[in-house]
């Protein structure tokens, strides 16, 4: 399918994945992205394995361990560009890379800070949804909460680069990508790309300090 990228998505993804692999700890779980369901299962198994094997890990340790997993299962360069598609054609490649890097750090830190006490019963069964347009698919699951209703998660995945990767997450009917696009456009309406990157870095640090 036609993507939004005017630069080489594969080159950007490969660079980010290589960088993540070099700085991350060796994971004790296999990464599989050959089907949409396998990608979601890989994320869930990775989060469970980290919680069980390293229950006292610091957020920085969790970040380093999870980075290769999140980079491999999420199409972060695509998501980053989609969030800024109005401004993307005018951005220099160096600025695009700076933004993608900041967006990746925030994305990985979100998992590291929020999915801490994860066990085998945390996630609900994975259910395949109807095929989406083009090389896309929907997968539904959920997260159990003690004494509260489950949080439903609907994943939109896109096939490319040898596997299926997440491009959007809808939690209880709220699109994460739509929220990001609205937030980033609001910041850019009165600021610059540097302003936005600084905000993403601030969010990353606040998650790190939780």
Note the pLDDT of residue 129. Answer: 80
Q: What tokens does 142 get?
A: 């959920």
Exposure of 130 by Cβ count < 10 A (0-12 exposed, 13-18 middle, 19+ buried)? exposed
Note the pLDDT of residue 11. Answer: 40
Domain ranges of the chain: 9-178
- Asked if 103 and 30 count as a contact pair (C-beta separation under 8 A), the reply is no
Measured between alpha carbons, how far is 53 from 47 in angstroms, rounded to an integer?
10
Tens of pLDDT along the chain (210 residues) come to: 333 333 344 444 444 443 443 333 434 568 999 999 999 999 999 999 999 999 999 999 999 999 999 999 999 999 999 999 999 999 999 999 999 999 999 999 999 999 999 999 999 999 998 766 678 999 999 999 989 999 999 999 999 887 999 999 999 999 999 999 999 999 999 999 999 999 999 999 999 998
- Could you confirm whether domain 9-178 is CATH 3.10.450.710? yes
Full-model pTM: 0.85
Measured between alpha carbons, how far is 42 from 50 in angstroms, rounded to an integer?
12
Length of the chain, in residues: 210
């Amino acid at each position: 399918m036609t993507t939004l990228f005017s630069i080489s998505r594969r080159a950007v993804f490969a660079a980010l994945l290589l960088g993540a692999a070099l700085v991350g700890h060796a994971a004790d779980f296999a990464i599989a992205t050959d089907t949409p369901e396998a990608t979601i299962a890989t994320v869930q198994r990775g989060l469970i394995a980290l919680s069980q094997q390293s229950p006292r890990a610091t957020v920085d340790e969790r970040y380093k361990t999870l980075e290769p997993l999140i980079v491999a299962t999420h199409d972060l360069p695509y998501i980053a560009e989609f969030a800024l598609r109005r401004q993307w054609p005018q951005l220099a490649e160096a600025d695009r890379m700076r933004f993608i890097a900041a967006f990746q750090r925030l994305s990985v830190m979100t998992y590291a800070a929020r999915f801490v006490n994860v066990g085998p019963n945390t996630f609900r069964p994975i259910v395949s949804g109807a095929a989406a347009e083009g090389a896309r698919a929907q997968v539904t699951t959920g997260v159990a909460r003690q004494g509260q209703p489950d949080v439903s998660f609907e994943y939109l995945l896109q096939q490319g680069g040898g596997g299926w990767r997440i491009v959007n997450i809808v939690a209880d009917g709220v699109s994460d990508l739509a929220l990001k696009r609205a937030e980033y456009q609001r910041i850019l309406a009165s600021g610059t790309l540097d302003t936005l990157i600084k905000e993403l870095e601030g969010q990353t640090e606040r998650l790190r300090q939780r």
